[in-house]
Structure formats: C-alpha cells, structure tokens
Amino acid sequence: MLNDNFNKFIPINRGRISDLYPWNNKLIDFFFLFVPDFLLIFFKKDILVKIKKFFNTKFVFFLDSGTSAILVSLRAFGVKYGDEVLVSCLICPNVIDAIIASGAVPIFVSTNFDFQLDINDLRSKIGENSRCIIISNIYGLVENLKVVKDISLKNNLLLINDLAQSFVSLEGEEIKREHLGDINIYSLGPQKHLSSLCGGIITTQSSSIASNIIKILPSKRVSYFKLWSYLISIIKYRTKFLMTRFSYIFNIKEHPIWLKEKYSASDYACPSLVIPLLLPLGQIISFYFKLRLSKRYFYKLKNNIIFLNKELSFLNKININHNTSNYNLLYYTLRTAGCDRHYLGSYLSQNGFLCTWNYYPVTYYMAYSDYKKGLILNESWRQVASIPFRNLSSKRLQKLVGLIRSYYEE
C-alpha cells in the first residue's frame, strides 16, 4: 500500500466527473456493441488506410489496451528475461506491469524540475543489459525527443514513445513524424483524448519491427461479453463518484458491496494479468469515426490551453508547466507552492471544479519498491495539481481562472 502521507486525495464535494474525464462520443461505442464484426469486414481495408494516414505511419496494430501494446512491442523487439528497460519514475503502474510481464527489469530514471527524464541520470543508467527506453510524456508534456532519440541510436536501444497522455502536435490532419519514436503507443482508455471502451494502438515505420509484431500478435479478440463488462465498469465508476458526491444528502456512509474494489492498485503488481488480445473490428471502426469528429475537439483543446497559459501566467505562486509546441495535453498541470495543492484542490472542488494529480513515483508502491535502487527522486512531483480544462465552456473556464486567482489573493 501507499504510505498514508501520500494517500491524500482531494475530497469530492461538487463538480462534474466529465470535466476531468470527458466521455466523448460514447454513443458510437454503444452502437457498435450491437454490430457483429462480419458485417463490418468490407470497410476494414479502407478505414485502416485512413487511420494510417492520420498517424503518419506505415503500420498500425490495435490491441485491447495500451498495456498490451507495450508488452507486444517489447516482445517484438526481442526483449527477454533479464534485459533492462529504462523508464521514468513518474509513470502509470500499468507500464511497469508490461515490462515485468516481458521478463525485463524496469530501471527507473529520475525526472528534472519540468518532469521530463533527467538526461544525465538516463545516460548513467544505460548498461550492457539495456534494451529499450520508454518515454511517457507525463501530464501530456512532450519529452525532449531529439536528445532521447540520439541517446537511443548511439546505444542501439529501442525507443518507445508512450503517448497515452498526449496526442502530440498535429500537422494539418496528420501527426508530425518528428514527434515519433521507433514504436508509438496510444491508449483508448475511457479517460483519454479519443477514448473507447478499451483499446491500445501500436504504430511504427519499421518493416522489421512490424514483421515481428505480426508474428506474435494474439489470435483471440476481446469478446463482446468483455466489452459489455468494460461498459458496466465505467458506469459503476461514475455511480460510485456520484454516490460519494451526494453522500451527505442521502446519508450514505459506505458504498454497497457491488461498487467496492477487491484490491487496491498499490497492493500488488499484476504482470500475470497482462494478456494481449486484439481489438474487435467494431471498436476500430468506432475509433475511426471519432477521428473524423476530433477536429473540433482538438481545436477547442488548443484554445482552452492558450487561454489558461495567458490568464494564469501572472501568478507568482504557480509556475505553469506547459510546452507551447503541444496543445493536446491530457492534463493541464499547475505547479503549486509546497503542499498547497491539497488546499487548492479542496477549494476548487467546493466550488464545482474537480482536480487530480498523477503520478506518485512508482517506487512508493510496495509492488515496485524492489526496483528503486540508485533512484534519486526530485520532490517537485509533490507540488502539482491538474485542473479540468478539456470539456469546459468559455464561461466555466473563466470562472475556474477567477477561483484560482481569488484563492491566491486570499
């Protein structure tokens, strides 16, 4: 478990869960739950060509999750037991499970004050067993890819660009190739930019890597029963949120059994549960329609970020951590003073805006504490709070900025 001092989260008082985790175009996913794959097979080739064009790639593969996509990528490159994979200490635990499931050892790299990989620490931890670098673009902030690419090429390492928290910058209607690694991973998780019931995407320009991926791709697809279970789990999550929010009205002191989780994510590592499956064709086509509808979404995203960059830049107690070359952030993250993030988050929550923060360094989880050797942590991770922005109207965005200003003026 996490230490109690770290396990302190913003209380849920008011606000909309959709502000933090927009459930965009979920009716499309719901529709394709009723359409069997054999009725869609005639559209597959044309749609895959258009998806490749959007991702500016030669090869694209769809799996059941971003975690499975990372595991398949590592196996395709020949990563085996005892090999080392270099990765940021601030990252989703699911990435670590994929590394362990491949047989490799995660080597955690410190982050600098801007939450990017500490390049000196990265160089110092490359050894004879190193096979791969995974960059995670924490909070959606794009890593210094040029420098990391040079290091990976010099040391003959695979570079996996995990874009679960960012969709990187677009050039017209295509992704810029200079933002890509040897392999690129996208997540279609429920809280992501172009979310789905489940899903992970692998893209690559390399024919040899693609050939290896094809050899080890699973034969089974996610069952429709499993897709329905994913939908139910999302509904349960939002129901749990609503019950917590209105518990003081209905005098709910404890969640019912059917809403409780059996385990905490920090109790144990789950590499044995990473079993890759192919994504059903219906969900791939559902994703394609979301791409077609995404232009307006990304346009609004960019405008909201530009507005926040301008309106919050004057605050002395907040150093805004943003990268102007990337307007597709998953989280708009503020650096607060000391532990003020707890109080700022509570204040905003009481006024109708939910905040969050990700991530705790993974070595604070008991499941991964054995891998913290030689890691020097930068404590700046304690100072961040991510505010909602993706789904807010101009009026609510202005109200949010006003609340942050008033909090710091007080």
What is the pLDDT, as a whole number, of residue 350?
81
Q: Give the model's confidence band at 254: pLDDT under 50 very low, under 70 low, under 90 confident, else very high.
A: very low
pLDDT digits (tens, 9 = 90+) for 107-117: 999 988 878 89
Better-predicted residue by pLDDT, 367 or 80: 80
Decide if 33 contacts 282 (C-beta within 8 A): yes
What is the pLDDT, as a whole number, of residue 339?
55
Mean pLDDT of 192-201: 87
pLDDT digits (tens, 9 = 90+) for 331-340: 788 877 655 7
What is the pLDDT, as a whole number, of residue 232?
84
Distance, CA of 355 to CA of 324 (rounded, Å): 22
The two structure tokens encoding residue 256: 């019912």
| Residue 11 in this model has a pLDDT that exceeds 60 | no
Average pLDDT of the chain is: 80
| Residue 201 in this model has a pLDDT that exceeds 90 | yes
DSSP 388: P
What is the pLDDT, as a whole number, of residue 256?
45
Q: Which among 345, 396, 295 is positioned nearest to 18, based on CA atoms?
A: 396
Decide if 278 contacts 63 (C-beta within 8 A): yes
Domain 26-216 CATH assignment equals 3.40.640.10: yes
% of residues, the chain, pLDDT over 70: 79
Mean pLDDT of 136-142: 80
pLDDT digits (tens, 9 = 90+) for 287-314: 999 888 888 888 888 888 888 888 887 6
Mean pLDDT of 195-200: 88
What is the pLDDT, as a whole number, of residue 269?
57
- Return the sign of the alpha-carbon dihedral for residues 309, 313, 319, 324: positive
The residues near 20 (Cβ < 8 Å, ≥ 6 apart) are 191, 354, 355, 356, 388
| Residue 272 in this model has a pLDDT that exceeds 50 | yes
| Most confident listed range (109-118, 180-189, 210-219, 381-390) | 210-219
- Which range among 85-99, 309-323, 369-383 shows the weakest confidence by mean pLDDT? 309-323
Q: How far is CA 147 from CA 33, 143, 144, 167, 296, in A?
A: 43, 9, 6, 20, 33
SS3 131: strand
Q: Where are the domains of the chain?
A: 26-216
| Residue 132 in this model has a pLDDT that exceeds 90 | yes
